Amino acid sequence: MKRLKGIPVSAGVAIGYAKIIEREKLHIDRKSIPKNMIEAELKRFKDDVDFVVKEIEHLISNYSYSKENEEILTAQKMILRDPEFSKRVTALISEELDNLENAISTYFTEITDIFNNMDNEFFSQRLSDFEDVAYRLLSHTLKKRKNLLNKLDETSILIMENISPSFVTKVFEKKIQGLCTEKGSKNSHSSIIARSMNLPTLVSTIELLENIEENQQVIIDGNKGELIISPTKSILEKYEKIFQQENAEKEKLQKLVNIESKTIDNRKIKLMSNIEIPEEIDQVLKYKSEGIGLFRTEFLFIDIDELPSEEEQYKIYRKIAEKCYPEPVIIRTIDVGGDKFSKILNITHEENPNLGWRGIRISLENIPIFRQQVRAILRANIKGNVKIMFPMISCVEEIIEAKKIIEECKKDLKKEKVRYVEDIEIGAMIEIPSAVITSDTLAEECDFLSIGTNDLVQYILAVDRDNESISKYYKPCDPSVIRSIKLTVDNAHEKGIKVAICGEMASEKIFVKLLVGLGIDELSVSPGRLLIVKNEILKCDKKNAEKLVAKILRKNTSDEIYQLLIK
């Protein structure tokens, strides 16, 4: 038995037999053509593009199981219909006398080089779209098509080096159990599609292909991020029970989609979603989330060579706001720094990055960029359901300065006669001890507070949450963390504003009763955890939760608190 570590993309357990699929490497014969063949080669180009476009349209019609899936495939069709693509390939054939295969290969190689030179994770994740289109077109042009799906059935776990978005769509139709790749990233289009289909998936699985053989029995643990190869009888029996429990649980949870998230004694807990990228919005809508409690905007700013324009940001924010209406969308301003570098904002390596240029500090040192983002958010708030939230607030002065900039942006938009809604709610993230201690003052300047428990635990306990060697010191149920949350809630409620939790504590079943008892008004979780958390809320009695909190506040150690939570 072997265990390999991977990055979990879509949660859940899958049990089946390894089916290894490797794309055939395409050999491009780089030869020139005589001038009298130019027209014939150009016609072949048109015919082959038309064929592949129709093929993608067939995928959209027959294998699209979500809006985001359809949008990804449509984007691939647009790559083939891009005038620049046609112009470049036509020039290579007509002027350079390249044969069609060489011209197509040259174009996509040039595009790949451009994206790779950007050193931008956002664009590198989208490279798979271009690679997918290039392979699809070239394999048709070279007459190298193979039906890679014949070996797959309902017992299969697909093993690949990497997988294209359209191929995820097609293998899902085969009702495979799960998917595991050696390469890939959590937010690639392929991963997004796998999540939308709730297909247990691991990516970036270390040394996958050299440790696995065809037809070996395997288990994907999409919760822990493990691939188990040739499990022992006892391990297999353990995971078969987990698999059955998960399926039964999914059926039960699905019935909760239209049920309001209230405790047994009728205490309303607003349940919202955290999203990293716009493509996750379909998951938010699927589970009837009560809005977006945290829309992280870092994907627009990390390791790019050119800043997103105000117009680009506005279109993204507005689209999300319109899809969620009338539910709220809380947009967090730029939160780079720490482990998230940004060349364009001059955020590079620091000796102590988590205590360096982070969150609101970056925005207040880059006013033109900050104003651009604020203007985009204000413009996107056409229907009045957008809120703005500032990260890593350490003192009230930062809030006051940020609010002044918002007012300046409003005046500018008014002068320019640009449409926006005058009233927009403003919130602060409580993530560091100084914000907890002065939460009463911060609450006077804000319309809401949101506690980011991931960083709060890190800063209160002085433990780097990304450092595995000290992970045992990262304790969300430490007394200092619990008391910090309570102090923040009490101070906010005294000033008449609500408090949300948008960190990982909100997504964990074990903490739901605790957070309800502490008086939290809203929880914001990853979309895939929403029904799980809702189920815990529905089972919770607020009075009992408050009694539990009273006991917890008298405990001195995290172990004592943990034992109370698991009773």
What is the CATH number for 78? 1.10.274.10
Of the residues 141, 166, 190, the one at which a domain ends = 141
The domain tally of the chain equals 3
Give the amino acid at 463: V
What's the token pair of residue 239? 């995971």
Answer yes or no: is pLDDT of 172 > 70: yes
Claim to verify: residue 166 and residue 136 sit in the same structural domain: no
Digit-coded pLDDT (tens) for 186-208: 767 678 678 767 789 999 998 89
Range picked from 21-30, 343-352, 555-564 for highest mean pLDDT? 555-564
How far, in Å, CA of 90 to CA of 101, rounded? 12
409 is catalytic: no
Determine the straight-line distance between the first and last CA of the chain, rounded to whole angstroms: 34
Across residues 479-507, what is the average pLDDT? 96
Report the distance separating Cα 148 and Cα 146, nearest Å.
6
Phi, psi of 245 (to 5 degrees): -65, -40
Catalytic residue, chosen from 180, 189, 409, 540, is 189
Q: What is the pLDDT of residues 434-445, one digit of tens each?
A: 999 999 999 999
348 and 427 within one domain:
yes
Query: What is the distance between the alpha carbons of residues 509 and 385, in angstroms, rounded to a whole number?
Result: 29
In a domain, 534, yes or no: yes
| Residues 111 and 214 reside in one and the same domain | no
Task: Give the model's pLDDT for residue 58.
Answer: 75
Domain end position, chosen among 141, 162, 191? 141
Q: Name the 3-class secondary structure at 503.
A: coil
* DSSP codes joined into one string, 143-181: T----TTTT--TTEEEEES---HHHHHHHHHTT-SEEEE
Instruction: Give domain status of residue 240, yes or no.
Output: no
What is the domain-level CATH number for residue 463?
3.20.20.60
**Spatial CB neighbours of 397, under 8 Å, sequence gap ≥ 6:** none
- Tell me which of 180, 324, 477, 502 is the catalytic residue: 502
Q: Which pLDDT does position 298 carry in this prediction?
A: 83
- 197 occurs within a structural domain: yes
CA 227, CA 151: separation in Å to the nearest integer?
A: 21
* Position 27 confidence tier, pLDDT thresholds 50, 70, 90: confident
Nearest to 249 by CA among 537, 526, 535, 539: 535
Q: Do 436 and 488 contact (CB within 8 A), yes or no?
A: yes
403 and 468 inside one domain: yes
| Domain annotation covers residue 495 | yes
On whether both 549 and 523 belong to a single domain, the answer is yes
pLDDT at 194: 81
Looking at the domain assignment, is residue 497 inside a domain?
yes
Backbone φ, ψ for residue 384 (5° rounding): 80, 15
> Across the chain, how many H-helices and E-strands are there?
21, 16
Say if strands 226-229 and 217-221 run parallel, antiparallel, or are unpaired: antiparallel
Contact 47, 100 (CB under 8 A): no
In angstroms, rounded to a whole number, what is the distance separating the alpha carbons of residues 374 and 365? 14
Give me the residue label for tokens 């990390």. Answer: 302
Q: Partners of 218 in the beta sheet?
A: 16, 229
Pair 392, 500 in one domain: yes
184: nearest Cα among 231, 138, 132: 132
Residues above pLDDT 90, as percent of the chain: 59
Q: Using CA of residue 540, residue 541, residue 543, residue 547, what is the dihedral sign?
A: negative
The answer to the question of residue 327 being in a domain is yes
- Same-domain status, 216 and 281: no
- Do 50 and 93 belong together in one domain? yes
| Residue after which a domain boundary falls, among 118, 141, 164 | 141
DSSP result, 203-255: ES-TT-TTS--TT-EEEEETTTTEEEES--HHHHHHHHHHHHHHHHHHHHHHT
Do the domain assignments include residue 503? yes
Domain that holds residue 66: 35-141
pLDDT at 168: 81
Nearest CA to 326 among 383, 285, 379?
A: 383
Question: Residues with Cβ < 8 Å from 236, sequence gap 6 or more?
Answer: 15, 217, 219
**Helix 310-324 / helix 367-380 crossing angle, nearest 10 deg:** 30
Residue 30 lies in a domain: no
Please give the distance of CA 76 from its chain centroid, rounded to a whole number: 21
pLDDT value of position 339: 44
Residues 510 and 380 in one domain: yes
How does pLDDT run across 446-477, given as a tens digit for each residue? 999 999 998 999 999 998 765 656 778 889 99
pLDDT bin (cut points 50, 70, 90) of residue 340 is very low
Mean pLDDT of the chain: 87
Please tell me whether residues 380 and 492 are part of one structural domain. Answer: yes
- 161-165, 362-366, 372-376, 498-502: lowest mean pLDDT where? 161-165
Structure tokens at 360: 């609101």
Percentage of the chain exceeding pLDDT 70: 89
Residues 85 and 206 in one domain: no
| Residue 502 known to be catalytic | yes
Residue 232 · residue 1 · CB < 8 Å: yes
555 and 452 within one domain? yes
List all residues 6 or more positions away from 247 whose beta carbon is below 8 Å from its beta carbon: none
